[in-house]
Structure formats: C-alpha cells, structure tokens
Structure 1
C-alpha cells in the first residue's frame, strides 16, 4: 500500500496547477482506481476477471459473420405508446421517472462538474436523456440516473435495472444478440491514447512490447482480443490490463502501469482534455456508432426513441455538440454526425 501512496503523491504533483474540472475529475478517478486496484495489488497485479479472450473473440466473430451494418438493425420510428411505455407512465409519485443507465465519470459525456452547484450530471449523453424524458413523461427532469460501469451496460438492461442505457455505447453485432438498439446518435472510432513523449504513433507496429489498457466489455477490448488471437497485434503487446470503466485506463496510464489506452476516439479526446501530458495517437482504425440500448422485446420504446432521435437530430443535437464536445472534437461536427438512419429490423 505504501507504493500506491507514493505513486498517488507523484500523480497529484503532476496535477497541480491544472485547476477546474480536469484536475478534480482526474483526482476523483484516481481515488476510484486505487480502491479498485487493491485486490490487484494483493494478487500480484492480475488482470480483472472477464477480459475478452478466445471465447469472447470467437463469439464476436460468429456474430459478425451473421450480421451486417448493425447500426441499421433497428425499428422504424413511431410516437405510439405500447406496453413498455405504458408501464413507465404508470409509475406513481416520485417513482414516475425514466430509469436510465449512464456514466458519471466521462468528461463532457456524462459527468459531475464540481464547479457547478449541486454537481448534477451533465454532458452530451445527459442532454439526450433529458430530451427522451421530456417526450415520454412530459418533464425533462423526470429521470432516475443510475451510474453503471462499462462492463455492466448489457446486464443492466437485460435484468431490468434500467429502462435504457445512454452511455457512449457502440452498436455492435454481438450486442444485438442481447439488447435492442435505437438508430445511431453519434459516430466515432477506436483510437490509441498515449503520453505525448511516447514512441507509439497509432494502432500499428509501434505498439510492440507495450502494455495496453481497455475497459472490460468494451468494443476496444473485443477488438484487441480478436487481433491478438489472429496474430494481428505487434510483437509482445500485452492486453491483460482491463478495468471496469474507460476512465480507469487513464489513471493506469498516469501511474505508469500501462503504455497506452485503446478506446473510442470521442472518449479519448475528452480524456486528453483532462491530462495535458497525453494525446491521441494516429487516426481512428474502426467506424462505430453510439445507440441507446433497450430490452430486446421493448419494441414500442425502441420505436419511440427513434422518433425522438429524428426530431433531436434536426433540433438539439448540434446545440448539445457545441456545448459539450466542440472544445475536444473541434467546431466542425461533420465527422461525428451519424448517417441518415435506416430501419432494417421488422420485428
């Protein structure tokens, strides 16, 4: 534990002078990560159980073979109520809220700004949640937010702990076996995050002999596992380090325990904004789309969210982008806008 304390002090020293949200967010993330790291320290630094391995890669590849254009596998829009929406509206009193799984540690996406009174959740994903609540319940604040880690997004939906997840969640073929998705609301791609001083230049041979961190249950983790199994990773790349949340990877990077992070470029850009010593390395090497995840049989809710997204893309999406993401992704939102939706799922 003494070694961890000393590393904490060194990282805090690096953070001095940041000011504002970046410093406080990183320090909070560090505290969380250190708690999570205790069992690793006791077990000699073993990886988190559940890291994508051969079975995960095989399942992903099998799903991908039977699935094309996952972002199009959704239902056509409708404003009609159905049994799922009726059940939400039937909640009484303080319980008459939309229950939504979100992140509270992703800067600019879903996070608590300690500089704001009350430190309410805010960000690009949170704006969308408020719009959905306004449409379904007539009140943008009729929301019960549930903070869930990356690797719990699918179970939270399947087990009914939430009505939906709005948490930078990529629509993928393998996930379509477990949950239903809305049409896309954001476009991104996997990228590498590493120290500015690093020799790493992207998702290429410069990763050789590096330790790479990813979040368990993420598309980045699946891609790394697939590429490792297929022999596409550089020599000696170690992908054993996985964490429950993407932001935990940034802390591991700050502690010098890994050499790089692989995650969505949109998230990596926000993490780089929190730590001026790291940067995105290379261009995105995948194309991915974020969607709202719901239960597979919640057809009326999926259709309703798709109807809301039609309106939101026309009036609301750009304003939210300008507020939260233009500072990290640039004022031109062209590359982040999702394509015109297609609704290929019929039942």
Structure 2
C-alpha cells in the first residue's frame, strides 16, 4: 500500500490572466532558449542512444532497490575530476551547463514580471544559481538548456549537460542510468481535473477517462504499472503523452483529455495558473526530487550534497526563503513547514 499524503492545496492566487500568459508563453518560450532536441522516441525512462541495459537486468535491479532517495554519496566540498573540468572552462564557456524546465510555473519558467527580460526564475532555478556560485564563484555562471521530460537522462549521459535540476523524481529505474543528489523536495502523484468534473481522485472515477502524462515521467510509469496490476481501471486511456508537463494543462483546457496525473507540487502550480481546474483527492505516492548527474561524477554528487546541506541550513537565503518566495502561495500549510527530513547517504561508491 502506498503511503498517502495530504494533497497540495490551492489558494486564490494566479487567475485567468496568469493562465493566458502561461499558454501563450508555452509556445513562444521555445524561440527564446535553446532546446535540447529529442534523438529518438523511446518514451520510456528516456535512456535512448544505446545507454540502456537489458530489460531483465533493469527489472532485477529495480526489485533489489529500496529507499532510492537514500542511494547517494555523503557530502564533501572537495574538488575532483568532474569539478576540475567544469572550473577549467575558459571565457564564455566557463559556465555550469544545466538542464531545466522553462514551462513549470514557479519551478522553472520565464517570469514576464521581472523587469521585461523574462529571465528564468523559480524554485529549481534558485538552486541552480546556488550550485553555480559554490562551484564557479558566480551565481550567474550558468548555461541553461531547456529539455523535455523524456530527454533528461539522455542529456546527462551524452554530456550535453553537467546536471539536470528539473523536478526530477529519484527512483530505482533512473538510478540505473544516472546518479542523484540527496532529496531537496518531497511530493507525490496527484490527479488534476476541471472543477466541474465528477472525477474525485485516483480511484474508480478514472474508468473510461483519457489521462494525460508527460512522456518519460514517473506518473506515466506508475499508471502503466498500476493498470497492469489491476489497481487502475483497465479502460482508463493512457495514450496521451506529451514532451512537457505544461502541454497536459493545455490539453485539459481544450477538453482533449479528462484528467492530468503529475506530481502534486507541479499540479498545484498549474491549478494556480487556471482557476477552472483543481487537485482531486490525495497524493497516492510519496516521491522526492533530486539533482541528476552522471553515474561516475562522484565528486560532483558529493559537492552538490554539501551545497544542499548548506542551502537547507541557510535561514536568510536558503531553502525556506526560496519556498516562501515561489511555492508557499500554491501549497498547503501541511506542505509548507519544512524541507524533506534530513537525508541519509547509503551509497558508498
């Protein structure tokens, strides 16, 4: 039985204006930021490019994996080969290259209200600046690359980015392909649907309904597994997948799907953009976001974990400050109190 958590609630903030801006910007943003293009349509965990392992081996590894959010290295602020390579970049290339989202409201998005330059902003973006400041001494020494959900892992494996900071859930399958930091946020999968809908949550009311998810997302793999296990109605239609999660909100607004399943933290931000939709029912999983890096980048993983320790402890400009600025207006009081519990570091090599 999955642990259940109180759903991320909503406050009366956002409005139709924000919704309209978001929908228009979703189309225009691609013109403003280089996008890492897909090199295939594997639509699964997004490994692609010959980097995957045999399905049987992956399945066995996943069965043996427990507490994936704890499978990371202990913090250390020492330099190493990965960090040395980043720091040795010269001129304009002396930047941290980070895969992010540019369409997730309050997480990673272009804010049209920040002086006209529409720079990337949000909770994830604050963390990226913090990492760049620590490693390169300049919070703005960052090259942002917008990547679709199903291209997060290939972008890391192919060396197109140094890391991904993009509301990325730590899970056992992904640990076969990339390394993760300790968790920096706790959330869970939830259902988003129109307020007028008779869908009540992750239950029998999804029978016969069209559900939208992002390709390569935890939501999609969870729904597919639950449907296979008989925990989700067999006639629930999972055929609608999109490159980026915001596209699901657009499909919902157009009446092309009946519901969206995604992380509650993202769903709450989407509901803030559109007052005609709401979260339905409680979260039906417990998940943790982490920073994803190459599997052999041990020094970088340890350094990011040290940065996270300091970010959490910084009362003036750290985790809580970013949460209050970006997320507190869209989340429940129950989710507002503190960051995830102090991490454990079970990986030794």
Assess same fold via TM > 0.5. yes
Cα distance in 2 for partners of 1:59, 1:231 equals 24
Task: Give runs of aligned pairs for residues 28-43 of structure 1, distance below 5 A.
Answer: 28-29=25-26
State the Cα distance separating 1:292 from its structure 2 match.
0.2
Match of 1:189 in 2: 188
Match of 1:252 in 2: 251
State the Cα distance separating 1:338 from its structure 2 match.
1.3
Match of 2:24 in 1: 27
Match of 2:319 in 1: 317
State the Cα distance separating 1:334 from its structure 2 match.
4.6
Cα distance in 1 for partners of 2:41, 2:269 equals 27
Q: 1:268 to 1:57 in 2, by over 3 A?
A: farther
State the Cα distance separating 1:219 from its structure 2 match.
0.3
Match of 1:94 in 2: 92
Q: 1:75 aligns with which of 73, 76, 85?
A: 73
State the Cα distance separating 1:22 from its structure 2 match.
3.1
Give the alignment's Cα RMSD to 1 decimal.
Answer: 2.2
1:179 and 1:296 in contact (8 A); partners too: yes
Q: 1:304 to 1:63 in 2, by over 3 A?
A: same
State the Cα distance separating 1:231 from its structure 2 match.
2.2
Match of 1:64 in 2: 62
Q: Does 1:346 align with 2:348?
A: yes
State the Cα distance separating 1:114 from its structure 2 match.
1.7
Cα distance in 2 for partners of 1:217, 1:64 equals 16
1:322 and 1:331 in contact (8 A); partners too: no
State the Cα distance separating 1:255 from its structure 2 match.
1.1
Q: 1:57 to 1:109 in 2, by over 3 A?
A: farther
The number of residue pairs the alignment matches comes to 315
Q: Does 1:135 align with 2:134?
A: yes
Match of 1:199 in 2: 198
Q: Does 1:327 align with 2:324?
A: no
Cα distance in 1 for partners of 2:191, 2:26 equals 20
2:70 and 2:347 in contact (8 A); partners too: yes
State the Cα distance separating 1:187 from its structure 2 match.
0.2
Q: 1:281 to 1:199 in 2, by over 3 A?
A: same
Task: Give runs of aligned pairs for residues 255-294 of structure 1, distance below 5 A.
Answer: 255-294=254-293
Match of 2:107 in 1: 109
Q: Does 1:218 align with 2:220?
A: no
1:191 and 1:284 in contact (8 A); partners too: yes
More helix by share: 1
Task: Identify the structure with bigger relative contact order (alpha carbons < 8 Å, sequence gap 6+).
Answer: 2
Greater alpha carbon shift after TM alignment, 331-340 vs 200-209: 331-340
Cα distance in 2 for partners of 1:92, 1:115 equals 33
TM-score, normalised to structure 2, is: 0.86
2:164 and 2:293 in contact (8 A); partners too: yes
Q: Does 1:298 align with 2:300?
A: no
In structure 1, the gaps of 5 or more residues are 1-16, 34-47
In structure 2, the gaps of 5 or more residues are 1-14, 31-39, 46-52
Q: 1:331 to 1:230 in 2, by over 3 A?
A: closer
2:163 and 2:291 in contact (8 A); partners too: yes
2:227 and 2:234 in contact (8 A); partners too: no
2:328 and 2:336 in contact (8 A); partners too: no
1:187 and 1:336 in contact (8 A); partners too: no
